[in-house]
Amino acid sequence: MSAKTIDQAIAALQKGDLKQATALFDKIRKKLTQPNHLHACTVTYLQSGRPKDAQKMLKELMPKVKVTPQLLSLSGDIHKAQDNLSAAIDDYRRATGLAPQVPELHYNLALALFQISKTTEAKATIDKALKIRSNYPKALVLLGRCLASMEQFEQAEQAFNKAIKNEPNSYLPHYRLGRLHVHKGNSDKASESLGRSLQINKQLTPARESLILNSIYSGNHEGTINLINTALKMAPHDESIIAIATDWAIEKGQDDPYIHYDKAWRNNPTASLFQNFITALISSSDINRVETLLSEYETTQGKDFAWESAKLKVLEKQGGYNEILSLVKSSPHQSKHQIYSCLGNFALGHYANSYKIAERLHRSQPTNQYYLALLATALRCLGDPEYDRLANYNKLVFRANLETQFKNYSQFTDFRKDLIEHLNEIHVTRHAPLNQSVRGGTQTPGNLFAQSKSCLIHTLKQSLANVSEPFFEDLKSVELGDSHPIITEHPDTPYFHASWSIRTSEGGFHKSHIHSKGWYSSACYIDVPDVISDESDAGYLALGKPPFKTKDELHPDYSIKPEAGSLVLFPSYIWHATQPYQGAGNRLVVAFDVGAPNLFV
């Protein structure tokens, strides 16, 4: 082995030339024996985006040296790069135990805890880092994010401003402060902070995304158009900006909402852009354009994983279930297409196969609400009593009327009248968001409870909290069993982490869906048309019917008649939909998800 090659590789790493360092280490990695060489190779692979190779080199290094906090932190970084946050947290904990006076180690642990929504523990950990170094800018920013997620917004703003004072030319605290203002609906302050972050770092595309969202939430039509055009001029192929621009164009009823996808596709046809573009087209049922796009991609890129994924979506939309199973079976990417295999088996009546797949998916990600919904559906199709435990509506569904939160009925009716007027004023779009479940209606943009300055919304949120908090607490004592997902995922503090209003008119409805980021979901009926009655289930909330085909049709197994002023809570993994109704009047709902803290900031 050439000592010269090792020296060149280490020198390249020190200069930041990762491409050269990686190429050199690839030539000699199998011959490395010295700890400092193994360490340099490990760091090179990690920084080059090759965590699996970094893990292999670290495994060779560890037996040769004494375990140090720095090595444990490196191991944590490698696990984190592989999305194994649990292992990363274990490494970071051991590192802080060996070196409790090193603030960077506490920061690494706190950040990983924050990323799995353990914000209380993350804050306690970052407090330790700041006790050691009170002006640590990154730690102050993370403290602000923790406080914001716990809805301590004033303290969060103070933390961000302290970070800015300590490091005024860092884009990060300005950006996070801007996101806090977006979340709170402080439009002018958001623009100022996000604009400052972009002055420091013109390539900070997430700040441009936040500026666009801030403009949309504030109802600034012309400003939104200008910001979209500016952002796409700076980053014409940025898929997040294209997605936001397309959704907004659809909601505003523009003639050609896919113009940004079209332009990007013609100029820079990548696999990820193809997948996002075709998903949007399928959602809008534009099958002719879907077929054209599929053909174009196949011609230029072949039938790779992206093509297969898109083709499976089309086949599911068209009911080609045998073709789905054939494609999955023959695919070299079979393990990545398990959801479509599960859906194909449901449609063909192979419920035992659907169960095996859903159980495997659920085991891989126990907190994934969609996988849990698939598992529950498979249990129902098999007639397994375990379904009754997962869908025990008598214990899991809560109903209440907000009238109980007011002194008298007259005060409640006055409040509801004013609230209806206010909500109608903020329904400013013409169509619902593309990937949402509502059809024939509109949805308010942004987080209703966080952004609204209206005392009516604040009163509503407090009333909802007052009636729901005892129910959430009582869930621990209703004998669901310790292994029930509602118990295992019960948050220490249930937060209202997303909220919005939906308005539908005659013929409007919700497609069956679940809420992937929630623990509990809701419907609070603010206004209900007179045509919704006891005579039929038109306009009712329906639980249990999946949105995909099963050979033996599954009907809703629980229905709820909406009543003005009533609140309904149900687990987020339960399929839910609303039935269309015919007749005059709007169905006006405020909905929210409850669960772990909102990490938007």
- Is 65 a domain residue? no
For residue range 519-536, what is the model confidence (pLDDT) as tens digits?
Answer: 999 999 999 999 998 888
**Whole-angstrom distance, CA of residue 334 vs CA of residue 319:** 20
Query: CA 412: distance to chain centroid?
Result: 35
Q: Tell me what pLDDT residue 84 has.
A: 95
289 class by beta-carbon count within 10 Å (0-12 exposed, 13-18 middle, 19+ buried): middle
For residue range 496-523, what is the model confidence (pLDDT) as tens digits?
Answer: 989 999 999 888 888 999 998 899 999 9
**Whole-angstrom distance, CA of residue 456 vs CA of residue 430:** 24
- Is 494 a domain residue? yes
**What would the two tokens of residue 131 be?**
């006790």
**What would the two tokens of residue 50 be?**
């090759």
Question: Could you tell me the CA-to-CA distances from 237 to 2, 269, 434, 463 in Å, in that order?
Answer: 43, 9, 20, 45
Kindly report which listed range (5-19, 275-289, 302-316, 452-466) carries the lowest average pLDDT score: 275-289
Q: Tell me what pLDDT residue 260 has.
A: 93
Q: Which of 327, 350, 347, 323 is nearest to 337 (CA)?
A: 327
- Is 559 a domain residue? yes
Kindly report which listed range (136-140, 410-414, 474-478) carries the lowest average pLDDT score: 474-478
- Is 419 a domain residue? yes
What pairing do the DSSP bridges indicate for beta strands 495-513 and 566-571?
unpaired
pLDDT at residue 568 greater than cutoff 60: yes
- Is 316 a domain residue? no
Q: Which of 497, 489, 583 is nearest to 533 (CA)?
A: 583
User: 255 or 313, which is more confident?
Assistant: 313
- Is 284 a domain residue? no
pLDDT at residue 476 greater than cutoff 90: no
Q: Tell me what pLDDT residue 1 has.
A: 52
User: 486 or 236, which is more confident?
Assistant: 486
- Our count of domains for the chain comes to 1
Q: Tell me what pLDDT residue 395 has.
A: 96
Question: Could you tell me the CA-to-CA distances from 523 to 16, 173, 591 in Å, in that order?
Answer: 53, 36, 5
Which helix (DSSP H) or strand (DSSP E) does residue 19 occupy? helix 18-28
DSSP codes joined into one string, 342-371: HHHHHHHT-HHHHHHHHHHHHHH-TT-HHH
For residue range 170-220, what is the model confidence (pLDDT) as tens digits?
Answer: 999 999 999 999 999 999 999 999 999 999 999 999 999 999 999 998 888
> What is the pLDDT of the chain when averaged over all its residues?
94
Q: Which of 569, 215, 514, 537 is nearest to 369 (CA)?
A: 514
Positive or negative torsion for Cα 374, 375, 376, 382: positive
Question: Do residues 308 and 337 make contact, with C-beta atoms less than 8 angstroms apart?
Answer: yes
Could you identify the residue written with the tokens 């129910």?
471
CATH code, domain carrying 571: 2.60.120.620
Q: Tell me what pLDDT residue 434 has.
A: 66
| Range ranked top by mean pLDDT from 107-111, 184-188, 259-263, 452-456 | 107-111
- Is 479 a domain residue? yes
Q: Tell me what pLDDT residue 285 has.
A: 79
Q: Tell me what pLDDT residue 558 has.
A: 95
Q: What is the DSSP letter of 474?
A: H
Beta bridge partners of 595: 495
Q: Within 10 Å of residue 66's Cβ, how many Cβ atoms?
A: 7
Q: Which domain holds residue 509?
A: 396-595
Beta bridge partners of 399: 568
**Whole-angstrom distance, CA of residue 322 vs CA of residue 330:** 12
**What would the two tokens of residue 440 be?**
């024939």
For residue range 208-217, what is the model confidence (pLDDT) as tens digits?
Answer: 999 999 999 8
Kindly report which listed range (154-158, 323-327, 412-416, 474-478) carries the lowest average pLDDT score: 474-478
- Is 534 a domain residue? yes
Question: Could you tell me the CA-to-CA distances from 438 to 87, 524, 548, 586 in Å, in that order?
Answer: 40, 15, 16, 14
What beta strand segments (E) does 377-458 contain? Answer: 398-401, 438-443
User: 535 or 372, which is more confident?
Assistant: 372
pLDDT at residue 566 greater than cutoff 80: yes
**What would the two tokens of residue 156 be?**
């969060």
- Mean of the pLDDT values across residues 228-233? 92
Q: Which of 246, 245, 252, 242 is nearest to 272 (CA)?
A: 242
